[in-house]
A and B are shown apart, each in its own frame.
Chain A
Amino acid sequence: MGDHDLSLPKYTSQSKSAAAQLMARLLPVTYVVVGLLCAWEGIKALWSINDNTLPHLSSIVSFFGSRSQGGRGPLLVYQMLVNALATFGVAFGGFVIGGMLGFLLALIFTQSKLLERGLMPYVVGSQTVPILAIAPMVVVGLGQMGSPDWLAKAFIAAYLTFFPVTIGMLRGLRAASSEALALMHSYAASPVQIFLKLRLPASLPYLFTALKVAATASVIGAIVAELPAGSSMGIGVVILNAAQYYNSRPEALYAAVLIAGCVGLVFYGIVAAAERLIVRERRIEA
């Protein structure tokens, strides 16, 4: 007895303050951002690229700070954030619908090899169809059937999100080792107990990896869904408008792309935070 002293890896995190930890996380990101900004202006200066092709960073920033309607309307950055929020709402709706659908499909596939063989080609095939072509059909079609505008768009986001969740969850539900299953067998555990106490928790790391992919994909899906005529809100609409005036005001499109990227990042961050909260006690595999 009394063998093996425990070297709990916890002590490293306890010795640093929360602020220092945050700094350690933010510093590399800051370096990269500063580096990118320098590269942007550097390339522009070195090859003397004109402002229509690559606007100054300052003009993108000042675009955010300018007001719409000839200076009398709200700040453009505010307007863009409102649109971003609309897109985020659609993306989140699609994420939830697609996530549940993906989970359900994975569950069905683990129960029936026959259904997996029969349906999997269509699941994969669905992702090879250009989403840009399907978006108007679904959005307009569902709209005519009386579905609320956001729901029709969320279906497009769901179309992109169910796939990674299906694949990830399928892998996750099969992640339990044969010995872990043999243990359950020896306890004479019921199928429901095996699912709840072994297969489901064992699948979580795979599920969250899939959800992180799905989070960013759902934002793309939402933006594509906003492109068909008739939409009035969303980053997709902002991008469409900015693209029309690209020749005279290129910074508008860059600003819209920047905001769209931020929506994806925020969504990813939320899922990553949820992951840390739920699977925190596990060893993070190097």
Chain B
Amino acid sequence: MMTATSPIIVLNQVNKTYYVGKNQINALHDVSLSIAPGEFISLIGPSGCGKSTLMRLIGDLEQPSSGTLLVKEKTPSKARQDRDYGIVFQAPVLYEWRSVRKNVELPLEIMGYSPAQRHERATEMLKLVGLGDFGDSYPWQLSGGMQQRVSIARALAFSPSILMMDEPFGALDEITRERMQAELLRIWSDADSKTTVIFVTHSIPEAVFLSDRVVVMSPRPGRIERIVDIDLPRPRDFTTRELPRFFELVTEVREGLREHS
């Protein structure tokens, strides 16, 4: 997927070390990676491989111990100030005192959009995630899958150039999960500008189904084991999961996970 266009995210020899008491934990060791604009990239690996840490470093939620990390040729901190990041966590993290619409409008309020702009944008986003009729509902009135859609609508509301998703479907049942994966691809291709997605998961089929590239990581110290190019055609739908190539790629990722473990 690496083309002539310059990458949107560049990591060079990035290390992250935690100290727990006197113990030194190498969460990330010499991680180098380039992500192209508009690319859908998954980070996969067992617990402790540093996939969430890697995402949090890119999103300026944590600082690297060493190495360089550039987002749109800026520091992650500058990119955050410029509102380049939309984030979706495993939990929807909706504000329970706000209606669905008001939750989607939250980032827009903070970024100083006018009420009319907010209303228009929230309507558009709710429609995009298939919740056009639920703007006046409150989060607790929605199912887990619907809450996560609201969370995606909120993350995309201000058109960030990078969407970061940390196991967003991890709490959903398998059926809802597969439906949400297809939904996410549709939303991603329908969204007004091509958004770069960094998707953290521990599900191999999920990573293969969604991504352009799957970054396979391993723990102790957290590092990139291999990168698997996913050459499945887009648009992808339920038939994609039945292609022989899909199974080959799933196997390739699985083998990558088995190395050094």
Binding site for B on A (CB under 8 A): 1, 3-4, 6, 8-9, 177, 179-180, 182-189, 193, 197-198, 201-202, 204, 279, 281-283
Interface assignment of B93: CB less than 8 Å from any CB of chain A: yes
Q: Are A283 and B130 in contact (CB under 8 A)?
A: no
Interface assignment of B19: CB less than 8 Å from any CB of chain A: no
Instruction: Report the Cα distance A198→B93, complex, angstroms.
Output: 12
Which A-chain residue is minimally distant from B182 (CB atoms)? A1
Please report the number of residue pairs spanning A and B whose Cβ atoms sit closer than 8 angstroms: 74
Which B-chain residue is minimally distant from A184 (CB atoms)? B110
Q: Are A282 and B87 in contact (CB under 8 A)?
A: no
Instruction: Report the Cα distance A198→B106, complex, angstroms.
Output: 10
Interface assignment of B70: CB less than 8 Å from any CB of chain A: no
The number of residues on chain B lying at the interface, defined by a beta carbon within 8 Å of a beta carbon of chain A, is 35
Contacts of A185 in B (CB 8 A): 60-61, 80
What would be 22 A-B contacts, judged by CB atoms less than 8 Å apart?
Answer: A3-B145, A3-B176, A4-B145, A4-B146, A180-B95, A183-B87, A185-B61, A186-B60, A186-B80, A186-B85, A186-B86, A187-B83, A188-B81, A188-B82, A188-B110, A193-B110, A197-B95, A197-B106, A197-B109, A202-B95, A279-B97, A281-B97
- Which stretch of B8-16, B38-46, B135-143 is in the interface? B135-143
Contacts of B158 in A (CB 8 A): 187
Supposing A1-B130, A201-B97 touch, asked if A189 and B110 sit within 8 A by C-beta, the answer is yes
Contacts of A182 in B (CB 8 A): 61, 87, 89
Between B85, B97, B141, the greatest number of chain A beta carbons within 10 A of the residue's beta carbon is seen for B97
Instruction: Report the Cα distance A183→B176, complex, angstroms.
Output: 25
Instruction: Report the Cα distance A283→B176, complex, angstroms.
Output: 24
* Per-residue A-contact encoding for B83-102, CB less than 8 Å = 1, 0 else: 10111010101011101000
Which residues of B91-145 have CB atoms within 8 Å of chain A's CB atoms? 91, 93, 95-97, 99, 106-107, 109-111, 130, 137-138, 140-143, 145
Interface assignment of B59: CB less than 8 Å from any CB of chain A: yes
Instruction: Report the Cα distance A281→B96, complex, angstroms.
Output: 8
Between A8, A183, A281, A282, the greatest number of chain B beta carbons within 10 A of the residue's beta carbon is seen for A183
Interface assignment of B258: CB less than 8 Å from any CB of chain A: no
Between B93, B143, B183, the greatest number of chain A beta carbons within 10 A of the residue's beta carbon is seen for B93
Supposing A187-B83, A283-B140 touch, asked if A177 and B179 sit within 8 A by C-beta, the answer is no
